[in-house]
Structure 1
C-alpha cells in the first residue's frame, strides 16, 4: 500500500494523508528513557505493541508504572483538597524543568503524610467542637426545663403551706401523720438528656412510650438553627429531649432506642450550681477549640498553597513519566537484554528529525552505543496521518468526529474548511450578528498566544479551540447577511435605493400590487422593499429553501466525486462502475 501513487488528484498536505513507513528502532537500555522522551516531544512516531503475549504485570517497566500511578493518586488527593479549600494551582508557564522523579516521589510522600495528619487532627477537633456545641444546647434547653419545673414546684409548695396555716390545731397532727410517707417506699426517677433528629422525634417518642409501657415522661424542645452532627459532619435539624424513667430495665431500653435512632446523649446535673459550672467549662472549651481549629486551617491553607505552587509542574512530570514507561513497555527486549527493540509508524518526511532525536538522546544519556534506525518493508495498512496547523486543526477534528479517512484517501477537510462555515451562514445570515461574532473571535485570535498558556473554562476552552472555525462562520455570515439584506433583522439600502416605490399610500399593505419599478434592479442581495410586506415570508422562505436544497445536492455530488477520485487513485474500476456511476445517476435523477 505504501507504493500507491498516481491518480487524478495530485498529492497535497491536506488532500491526501502523508506517506507512512514502518520503522524499527534498536535502543540501548541506558538511553531508552531519554530516547522515548525525545520521540514523544517530537510526536511523529506511533509505536506498535510487541509484548501483547505478556500481561501488564509481566512487562519490564510494570513497577515504574505502578510507582507513577501512586504518585498520580497523591496528586489527585492534593487537587481534591485544594478544590475543597478554594486554592487554585499556580499556572506553570515555563518549559519542562528537569526535576528528578525520585525527589518528586519523596516530596509527595512527605506532603501527603503531613496533610493527612493535619486533616485527621482537624477532624478530631471539629468533632469535639460539634459535640460541645450540642452539649451547650442541651445545657441551655434542659436547664430551662428544670428551672421552670423547680419554680412550679416551689410555687405549689408555698400554696400548700399557706393553706395549712388556717386549719384547726386538733386536726393538724392527724393530717401530718396521714401525709407522712415512709422514706423506704419513695421512688427516685432517673433521667437522660440528649439530641434527636427532628424528623425522627415523633417516632422516637412513640417507640419509647411503647417500649416502657408508658412508664416514662419525655419533654422535647425545638432548636431553631441547624446544628452540625458530630458523627456525619453534616448540618441537621434536631430537638433536645429529656426522658424521665424508673428502674434500670427502663434505662437500658431507652439507651438502646437512643442508639438506634442516632440520638446523641449528654450528661446533665439537677443542681443549678453544677449546671452553671458545666456551662462555663463548655463555653471556655468551645472558645479554645475555635482558636485551635482556626490556626489549624490557616496552617493547612499555607501547606496547600505551597503544594499549588508546584502542582502543575509535578503533575506534568508524573504524567510524562507514566506515558514514557507505558511506551517502553511496548518495546521488546533483545536476546542479550541490553537493548530494546521497537517498531512503529512514522511519516516519510520525519525520518531526519527522528534520527536527530535518536542521536541527541544518545549524547545526552552518555551512551557508548548509538540507537539504530531502519525502515522495514511491510504489507500492513499504515495509519492515517494528516499534517495540520492551528487553522486546520479544528476542521480536521470535526471531520474525524464522523470518521477517519483510510490511508491515502481524499481528505474531506479541504472542502469542509469552506462548506461547514458557509452552510452555517446560510442559516445564520445576518451581517449585524456576524460582525458581533467577528469581533469576539478576533479577540481570541489576536490574544491566542496569551490565552493558549492559560487555563480556561470548559466552554471557553471549546470556543478557543475552534476560534478559526468561528472566524470563518462570522465572515460567511456577514456575506450571507448582505445577500439577505438583514442587519439584526432590519433591512438597509446599503448599495442603492430600492428599485420600487409605492403608487399610493395603501400599497404597503398589499403583496407586490401597487409597487412601481422606478429604478434599476437592486445591485446586490434582496431588495429592502420585500421586508415588511405581506409576501416577505413566502418570498424569503422560498429563496432560502431552494438555495438550501441546491447547496445540499451540490455537497452530496461533491462527496460522490471524491469517491470517484479515491477509486481512480486506488485504480479500482469496480468502485467506479458499480458505486460512483449508480450514485450519480440516482442522486441527480431524484433532484
Structure 2
C-alpha cells in the first residue's frame, strides 16, 4: 500500500533519528502525535524497510522511475511510442530483472497495467495469508487435542478456500507465465453459472473444464462437511460419557470445554444440541461468506497503493514540475516548499497512518478470524486500583 522507495527512505531516516535518541527522548515530555510515533518507532522502522522494498517493485522514487536494475526491455520502433503510447514499442532485451519496467511510467497504458498487476497481487497475498490463518487453526486443534476440529473444520476450510480462490491465484500466475489473454472474471463467474460450457479462448491449460468441475464439487461438499458432522459427534461423545465411558478421553479438549460450559450454564450437565448446532451453522456461514468478502477486502492493498502512487504523481507533476517550468527562482522555491509540505503532511504522515490502519484491519479481521476464538481468560480492563503494592 505504501510503495515508494523515496518515501521509504524518508521514513527510515526519521525512524533512525528516533531510535538513535531514544534515551534522551524517553525522558522528555513529547506531544500526543510525537509520543505515538516515538512509541511505535520500531514498527515504523519495519514499515520503512518494506516501503523501500515495495518501492523497488513498483520502481517509484517520489513517483519517478529509475533504471536501477538495467535498461528497459523495450525501445521505440517508430515515433508513435513517443506520444505517451506503447503502440510503437518493441522488446529488444530480456524482461526487466526486478520490479516494474520503467517504460510503463508516463504511458497511456500505465494505469490499466498497474491496476491489473496490483489487483492480482492483492488477491494472491490475501489468499496466502488466509491459508496461513487456517493452518494456525490446525495447530490450535492439535494443542487442544481436538480431532473434530482437524477433520471437520481445518480440512473442509482448506478445501473450500483453495477450490475457489486458491484456484484463482493459480490461474493468475499461469496467465502471467503464459501471457494468455484469457478473462479470469469470465472464467470464475461461469465456473458457477455454466460449469459444463466450453471455455474457448479463456482456456489456460488442457483439462481445465474437468478440473473446474472437480473443484466446484469439492467446494459444495465442504459446506455440509463443516456444518453437520461436528454437532452430532459432540452429542454422541456426550452420551457416551454419561453411559460410563471414561471422561479422561475428553480432558483438555474443546469438546470437554463445551460440555463444561453447558454444565455451568444449566447446572445439570445438559448438552444443548440446538445451541451447539446453531453455533456451528453460524461458524460455517461466516466462513463461506467470509471467503468471498475477505478476499475482496484484500483489494484495499490495490486501492491504497494506487491512491499513494497517484497522489505522489500529482504532487510531482502539478507542483514541482509546474514551478520548475516558470523558470523563476521565487516560484521554484515556493513550489519546492509546497511540494515538501504536501509530501510530508499527506504522503509521509496521513498515508503512512492510513496504510498502517488498513494493514492492522486485515490482520485482525481477515487473518485472525480464521483461528482466533477468544475463549481463554476473561478480559479485564487495565486499572490502577487493582494493582498490588509489588506491581506498583
Give the TM-score, by structure 2 length.
0.41
From the two aligned structures, give the one with the greater helix fraction.
2
Give the TM-score, by structure 1 length.
0.27
Q: Higher relative contact order by CA 8 Å / sep ≥ 6: 1 or 2?
A: 1
